[in-house]
Structure 1
Amino acid sequence: MRILVPLHSFEPGGVERVALRLAAAWAPAGSQPHIVLGRSDGIARSAAPPLAYDVLERGAISTAAFETLWMIARLPGRIRATRPDVLFCAGNSYAVVGAVVKLLLGRRCPPIVLKVSNDLARADLHPLVRPFYRQWLRLQGRLIDRFVGLAEPMRDEIARAMRVAPDRIAIVDNPVLSRAELDRLAAQRDAIERSGAGRRFLAVGRLVPQKRFDLLLGAFARIGRAGDRLAILGDGPERARLETLAQTLGIWDRVDLPGHVEPVGPWLVGSDCFVLSSDYEGVPAVLVEALAAAVPIVTTDCGVSIRSLLDDGRLGSIVPVRDEAALAAAMDAAPAARPAEARARAARFTVERGAAEYLGLFRAVTLAASQPMCGSAEPAASLARQQ
């Protein structure tokens, strides 16, 4: 099984991190993951698994500013040369790559599997943009062969938004952690000694508008007491604006912005509350890690899977998106942790389990593609579960 995975770079992101972890798990199982990188830079490079990387960028000119166009221009040649059995697009941001490659290659294009990594409703979009966005989703439904949701509630969302039949949608719980990492987080959290020197709030993610760290800073300013601290792990184009906002709110001396940190486990286990303030998400990897560490969670209702993941609020507080007052109140109330239940929920999201399910799905997809005239095959989602 030859699996081609296009990734833009080693810039940190949950989509890229999970894709590389899956590839590292596929190789020992006898498959041949082929990672095609638009460029080889990115601060997460040192933590990447030891795989063979096919880098498209050559020379001194960076392709970062036009990375999607660069991937679209170069990927068809790699597909013709390597003839993979399946093309795996690891997140929503790679959907345009898969769709255009399909149009360019036609019947010569391998089956495309797209992991839907983010919420599809996108209520944050301007009303004038939404009709075009909906049409784009339907176009994906016509061009992409199979879709993968990260949790069961995403099945109906994908079917409605992209107008695809249920047998073209598989559900694979987002493979965020290895079993060893799951056990290590639990052990570290149980062993840590709590101190009374203020509350420690933690958030993790790229410093981009989607994450709404401005909302988080405002919420912390409302309820933060002397000795309380807020750490936001990540980097991105919003850094300067967030630093200025923290100074304006008078909380700069209690906010830490250390940049990209790997791993986040030591920060999680030392926190009193993990906060997710996003406008939209799929099944955030760091939210699963917070469950594994049994850290109290406060999150916005930023995706169809959030309530299912947190057992409709039993495993964390859920507040409306863009509601600073509600976010602040939930942070101040310190939701209770349920260690046994939280860790049991996180155990569904292991790389070992997810890698096997993806391979089962890929086999089903390639089998269906090789028998186009033999009637309908057994639904890919069902086949994937049986592997």
Structure 2
Amino acid sequence: MKKEIIIVMHDFRGGGAERVAVTLANSLSDLGNNVTLVFLEAKGPFLSEISSEISLRELKSKRIATSIIELSKIFKVAKPDLIISHMTHVNVATAMATLISNTRDKLTIVEHSQMQSNYLNKKSLYQKLIYLSTKVLYRIPNQRVGVSGGVCRAMSDFTGLDIRLFTSIYNPVITEKLLTVKYNKELRHEICKSDYLFVFVGRLIKSKRVGDFINAINLASSEISCEAIILGDGPEKYELEELAKSLGMDKKIHFLGFKENPHDYIKIADALVLTSEWEGLPTVLIEALALGTQVISSDCKSGPSEILSGGVYGSLYPVGDVNTLSELIVNSISLKPISCEQHLNQFTTVTAAYKYLGVK
């Protein structure tokens, strides 16, 4: 039965949560539902990926905290069957709006990362207060979704709410389009003149520990002929470029910036490396597995171990252990790919969409 669904998000910038929100919206629409995306700013690379069947509504205010009344009016008029909001600050405002509009029984909030780690990483008092308010306001929604079991546990620990009140729904990552990506020999030769190529995809911020990747590639280069590409932008970019230069690796480590579609680059790499201090459910690991590219990841909270089944479908190493990471990079060139098609079924867009529709 067709449902009226409203998805609330901040904008369409190049982050994992934004990509997930758009992919979920498209999937729910493809299943025949009427989907409306409500957002603060119509900007960001993922705006172009939204299905033409989806209605778009930009809020008048450019701050989510001052959009609560407007959101409540939208909910009251639309009478949606399901409201889904993404990310903590949006979740808080949306929860308050549903309380005003008497639609709290329709609300599902989604957390994409470790709440305690994010809280400690926030600089301003205002941002910290938003996180602290979840201890009360996360009692409002009908359902609370974490994108992994680890995220659910983190939500429970931070808010003090019973773990049984949280539902884990894996991100909608694997699309038909993703599975059609072909190996681009010309792109590989254009970028890499060495025998092996490794890739990092993500924001260049402190918690991603991209310096570990650069240092590990430097160590590995003494044993194998290799290069690396880094896809992403962020405040740490200059510092990371300087690190590569100081190691004499500036010709071997290529900073290619943010790519709206990183799949062509993941496909041509011998392995994808994730070095994060913490995550929620790093979709790039799932994308790499679906593309047949080997995966090496820090065993951080949370997501990597769940995705890789404790190391069955990829290699895990302790966060910050550059020497072990370097060894895994070197060893990866002799590993044979492991079939994981059945394992990946839980990360398809259709699976995720049906699970959200099943949330009552």
TM-score normalised by the chain length of structure 1: 0.78
CA distance in 2, matches of 1:168, 1:356: 19
Aligned-partner Cα distance in 1 for 2:149–2:115: 14
What are the within-5 Å matches in structure 2 for residues 200-211 of structure 1? 200-211=197-208
Report what 1:375 is aligned to. Answer: none
Q: 2:92–2:138: 8 Å Cα contact kept in structure 1?
A: no
**Quick one: structure 1 residues 26 and 56, their matched pair in 2 at CA, closer, same or farther if it must change by over 3 Å?**
same
Deviations 1:98-135 (A, max 9, x none): 344356x2745553211221134529937999x98985
Query: Is the 8 Å Cα contact of residues 294 and 339 (structure 1) preserved in structure 2?
Result: yes
Amino acid of the structure 1 residue aligned with 2:93: V
Instruction: Provide the aligned length of Structure 1 versus Structure 2.
Output: 350
Instruction: Flag the 1:341–1:162 CA change in 2: closer, same or farther, 3 A.
Output: farther
Counterparts of 1:40-55 in structure 2, within 5 Å, are: 40-50=42-52, 51-55=54-58
Offset at residue 286 of structure 1 (A): 0.8
Distance change (3 Å), C-alpha of 1:197 and 1:255: closer
Q: Is the CA contact (8 Å cut-off) linking 2:278 and 2:300 kept in structure 1?
A: yes
- Mapping of 1:60-139 within 5 angstroms? 63=62, 67-69=63-65, 71-72=67-68, 74-92=70-88, 94-102=90-98, 105=100, 107=102, 109=104, 111-122=106-117, 125=120, 135-139=132-136
Contact 2:71–2:94 (Cα < 8 Å) also in 1: no
Structure 1 residues 325, 92: closer, same or farther in 2, change over 3 A?
farther
Cα 1:48/1:102, change in 2 over 3 Å: closer
What does residue range 312-327 of structure 1 map to in structure 2 within 5 Å?
312-327=310-325
Cα deviation, residue 46, structure 1: 2.8
Instruction: Give the SS at the match of 1:16.
Output: helix
Q: State how far apart, in whole Å, the 1-side matches of 2:333 and 2:156 are.
A: 34
Residues in 1 aligned to 2:304 and 2:354: alpha-carbon distance in whole angstroms: 24
What stretches of structure 2 of length at least 5 have no aligned partner?
Answer: none
**CA 109–248 in structure 1, closer or farther in 2 if over 3 Å, else same:** same
**Contact 1:233–1:259 (Cα < 8 Å) also in 2:** yes
Cα shift at 1:30: 3.6
Q: Which of 269, 294, 306 pairs up with 1:271?
A: 269
Question: Displacement, 1:94?
Answer: 3.0
SS at 1:202 equivalent: strand
Distance (Å, rounded) in 1 between the aligned partners of 2:113 and 2:295: 20
Instruction: Give, as a single letter, the amino acid of the residue that structure 2 aligns with 1:19.
Output: A
CA RMSD of aligned residues (A): 3.4
Answer yes or no: is 1:197 the counterpart of 2:200. Answer: no
Structure 2 vs 1, CA of residues 108 and 102 (structure 1 numbering), >3 Å: closer, same or farther?
closer
Distance 2:150 2:104 in 1: 30
Matching residue's letter, 1:285: T
Report the residue type matching 2:7 in the other structure: V
Paired AA for residue 75 in structure 1: L
Q: Which region of structure 1 is more displaced relative to structure 2, 47-56 or 92-101? A: 92-101
Residue type of the alignment partner of 1:264? P
Q: Secondary structure at the match of 2:117?
A: coil
Which residue of structure 1 lines up, in the alignment, with residue 39 of structure 2?
Answer: 37
Structure 1 CA distance, aligned partners of 2:96 and 2:205?
A: 26
Q: Corresponding residue for 2:24?
A: 22
1:219 to 213, 216, 223: 216
Match of 1:5 among 4, 7, 25: 7
d(CA) in 2 for partners of 1:208, 1:335:
28
Contact 2:146 2:168 (8 Å CA) reproduced: yes
CA distance in 2, matches of 1:336, 1:266: 22
Is 1:168 the equivalent of 2:131?
Answer: no
Whole-Å separation in 2 of the counterparts to 1:76 and 1:150? 26
Q: Given the superposition, is the C-alpha separation of residues 215 and 77 from structure 1 closer, same or farther in structure 2, using an over 3 Å criterion?
A: farther
1:149 to 141, 146, 149: 146
For structure 1, the 5+ residue unaligned runs are: 365-387
* Structure 2 residue identity aligned to 1:125: L
State the secondary structure of the residue aligned to 1:322: coil
Whole-angstrom distance in 1 between the partners of 2:358 and 2:37? 19
1:181–1:336 Cα change, 3 Å: farther
**Structure 2 vs 1, CA of residues 41 and 359 (structure 1 numbering), >3 Å: closer, same or farther?**
same
Cα deviation, 1:339-372, whole Å, max 9, x if unaligned, reads: 44333322220001111111111xx2xxxxxxxx
Per-residue Cα deviation, 1:261-289 (whole angstroms, up to 9, x for no partner): 13222111110111001111111111101
Partner of 1:330: 328
The list of structure 1 runs, each at least 4 consecutive aligned residues, that deviate by more than 6 angstroms after superposition, is 126-129, 131-134, 192-196
Please say if residues 292 and 347 of structure 1, whose CA atoms lie closer than 8 Å, have aligned partners that are also in contact.
no
The alignment's TM-score, normalised by the length of structure 2, stands at 0.83
1:373 is aligned to none
Distance 1:336 1:122 in 2: 36
One-letter code of the match for 2:318? P
Structure 2 residue 54 is the aligned partner of structure 1 residue 56:
no
Q: Which amino acid aligns with 2:301?
A: G
